[in-house]
Amino acid sequence: MDQVEKNKEEMLKLKTWAVVGVTPDEEKFGYKIYQKLKNHGYHVYAVNPKYDSVEGDIIYNSLKDLPEKPECVNIVVNPKVAKGVLEEVKALGIQYVWFQPGTFDEETIAHAEEAGLNIVYYDCVLVALG
């Protein structure tokens, strides 16, 4: 089993997640991933400075605004925004980051690896959770 598969297995066992890029738009992945995690019993925080709430849940402006530190961060934003999120992840000491397809570039992945983070990319949480 390679490191990414090992990271994926470990992450799916963690119960407190933040999804960065949550949206109230039911057609978008930010919404679908947030709901899928909640429906599978995860404690999930929504993060997106553009919105206030999703289905009655608070959407926080940033990771540092959350009431507790998530164990894993799922990224559903473009690579440019993802780089800023990585800075917050490092500052908060979060170890696990799951990049949804299309949310990273080589530079982002290199940056995450240099920071010593446990990462998953090319895999979708929706697929992993069935």
Torsion of CA 82, 39, 25, 123, to 10 degrees: 40
What's the total number of domains in the chain? 1
Say yes or no to pLDDT of 101 above 80.
yes
Mean pLDDT score of the chain: 96
Percent of the residues in the chain that have a pLDDT greater than 70, as a whole number: 100
Range of the domain at 105: 3-128
The reply to whether the predicted model has a pTM over 0.85 is: yes
What local confidence, expressed as pLDDT, does residue 130 receive? Answer: 86
CA distances from 13 to 40, 94, 116 (A): 11, 15, 20
Kindly report the CATH number assigned to the domain that includes residue 121: 3.40.50.720
Does residue 1 register a pLDDT over 80?
no
pLDDT single digits (tens) 109-130:
999 999 999 999 989 999 999 8
Q: What residue type is 90 in one-letter code?
A: K
Contact 127, 105 (CB under 8 A): no
